[in-house]
Amino acid sequence: MRSTVDILILGAGWTSTFLIPLCEERGISQAATSRAGRDFTIAFEFDPHSTNPAPFQALPHAHTVLITFPIKVAGASARLVRLFQETHPEGPKTAFVQLGSTGIWDGGPTLRAEGHVWTDRHSKFDETNDRAKAEMELLALAPAVPTTVLNLCGLWGGPRQPRNWVSRVAPTKDALRNKGSVHMMHGLDVSRAVLAVHAHFDRAVGKRWLLTDLRVYDWWDLASVWGEEGKQPHWVLELLREEGIRALPRAPEVIGRAMDSTEFWDTFELEPIKGRLGLE
- DSSP per-residue letters across 85-98: HHH-TTSPPPEEEE
Task: Read off the pLDDT of each residue in 104-123 and give the average, rounded to a whole number.
Answer: 70
The correct answer on CATH 3.30.70.890 for the domain covering 4-158+183-216+258-267 is no
What are the pLDDT digits (tens) for 122-141?
A: 999 999 999 999 999 999 99
Once rounded to an integer, what is the mean pLDDT over residues 52-74? 97
- pLDDT tens for 150-180 read 999 999 999 999 999 999 999 999 999 999 9
Going from N- to C-terminal start, the domains of the chain cover: 4-158+183-216+258-267
Q: List, in order, residues 6 or more apart from 245 with CB less than 8 Å away.
A: 239, 254
Cα–Cα distance between 240 and 229 in angstroms, integer?
Answer: 17
Predicted TM-score (pTM) of the model is: 0.94
Return d(Cα 215, Cα 164) in angstroms, integer.
19
Count Cβ atoms within 10 A of the Cβ of residue 86 and give its class: 0-12 exposed, 13-18 middle, 19 or more buried.
Answer: exposed
Return the H-helix or E-strand segment holding 133. helix 130-139
